[in-house]
Copies of this chain bind each other. A is one copy, B any other.
Amino acid sequence: MHPTLLHSVAPPHPAETVHDVDLALEYPRVRDATAILRAPLTAEDCAIQSMPDASPVKWHLAHTSWFFETFVLEARLPGYRTFHPQFRVLFNSYYNAVGDKHPRPERGLLSRPSLDEVFAYRRHVDLGMQALIESGALRDTAVRALVELGLHHEQQHQELILTDVKHMLSRNPLAPAYHRRASLHPTRARSSPDWLGFAGGMTRIGHRGEAFCFDNELPRHRVFLEPFELAASLVTAGEYAEFIEDGGYLRPELWLSEGWETARAARWSSPLYWERTDGARAIFKLSGFDALDTAEPVCHVSYYEADAYARWAGARLPTEAEWEHAVGEKLPAGNFLESGALHPTADTAVEDGLRQCFGDAWEWTSSAYAPYPGYRPAAGAIGEYNGKFMCNQYVLRGGSCATPRSHIRASYRNFFPAAARWQFSGIRLARDA
């Protein structure tokens, strides 16, 4: 993928002002960005599902359109004609209130609709949305909220397109690349972590202000924190390699019990996508196989591995409240989707303070994904967006190299099961002060 292409879809304004921008401009920008992500892929690439957790690209392309059709156009655009009666079931992800859904593990069985038909579906929905927008419907706050939600939803799937394609390509012995990118000169790793201290005390977390956020970021509320420290930057691949060399995957005392069982059953001995070739470590990226740069942040680790690494390092993972408190009012800046790297890059910053807290790799926190005090899911089917997943998942913060820049913010709560490794998930250490 050409970084220039990606760059062209980046919004010209900071994320926190999305609320004020013209959704009429934002809609085509976000939708086009999805289509651009697909550009390097063939129809065959877009049809395949490499594991139940991942979806075919074609499904992502259709489902994001389904979202606008189902939640916006059918309810709000008079005379709107549904594109295909069976798509309501076929591209429903998990909304029980909408009705039946095609089984998730069978998304990869569908050669039809073809990729061309899916793009026709997208165009049909886009024309509908254009008509809706031109009708002035966005003046209705409820409509506006749904469209804005649909765009953020689409951005989530932009990231998933990349992580799911990466997984699919990695399962192919031919190791095809998604995009071309020169190997970088290995960067020089910074030495052992700089610790930044935080006094804790009564603080507040959760989204503030009027701009868009998901319901799980609300309400902003008080929490009490004991004093703590955070590492200034992410754990590097080189540091993680030391953990491996030190028998990290062979020492049960470093692991959560469930993590140890999982790692043994799945025969994990390194992060996902690491390989050994002739003694040297290689890593599969969206640009294909490459030598491991020890200075780059480690990613594609599970919660279990993040936790075990932290224990080995004499530290722990941060809670999400610590993380959000430490980030404070920092605006998102870093290695996002728009950089075109599509891989974490080494921390070469020279300034003091918390670095790499946005972009590069999602940061596992020790916080189970749970409702904030006073949390209320949205009414209706949209209420299924977040709340029903608040069980047996862990919160990740900060976005990754596959996250659109305008999508992330300090209060953003991503979440995955403890065993998930195919996301760009990395590690920041914490410790008690």
Binding site for B on A (CB under 8 A): 42-48, 50, 86, 89-90, 94, 96-97, 102, 106, 108-115, 168-169, 171-174, 176, 202, 221-226, 252-253, 255-260, 303-304, 307, 366-368, 370-371, 373-374, 383-384, 388-392, 418, 432
Contacts and interface: CB of A to CB of B under 8 A. Distances in A.
Nearest to A225: B373
Contact of A172 (B109, B260, B383, B418): B109
Nearest to A165: B111
A46 B42 CA distance: 13
Contacts of A113: 174
Contact of A109 (B42, B171, B258): B171
Given A42-B111, A45-B111, A256-B389, 16 more contacts: A43-B43, A44-B44, A44-B46, A44-B111, A48-B110, A102-B173, A109-B168, A110-B174, A223-B224, A256-B388, A256-B390, A256-B391, A258-B389, A258-B391, A260-B388, A304-B391
A176 B48 contact: no
Contacts of A168: 109, 111
Contact of A110 (B172, B224, B389): B172
A257 B388 contact: yes
A120 to B, nearest CB: 14
Q: Give the most central of A111, A259, A383: most B CB within 10 Å.
A: A111
Contacts of A224: 202, 222-224
Contact of A173 (B46, B86, B303): B86
B111 A373 contact: no
Q: Which 9 A-B pairs have the closest CB atoms?
A: A368-B368, A96-B252, A45-B111, A44-B111, A257-B388, A224-B224, A44-B47, A109-B171, A256-B391
B389 A392 contact: no
Contacts of A432: 373-374
Contacts of A42: 43, 111, 114
B114 A373 contact: no
A174 B257 contact: no
A171 B110 CA distance: 8
B392 A258 contact: yes
Contacts of A225: 373
Contact of A174 (B46, B112, B221): B112
13 contacts: A42-B43, A44-B111, A47-B111, A48-B108, A48-B111, A109-B168, A111-B176, A113-B174, A222-B226, A224-B224, A225-B373, A255-B388, A307-B391
A172 B47 CA distance: 13
A172 B109 CA distance: 7
User: Which residue of A42, A86, A255 has the most chain B CB atoms within 10 A of its CB atom?
Assistant: A42
Contacts of A43: 42-44
Contacts of A202: 202, 224
A109 B176 contact: no
A94 B43 CA distance: 29
Contacts of A108: 48, 108
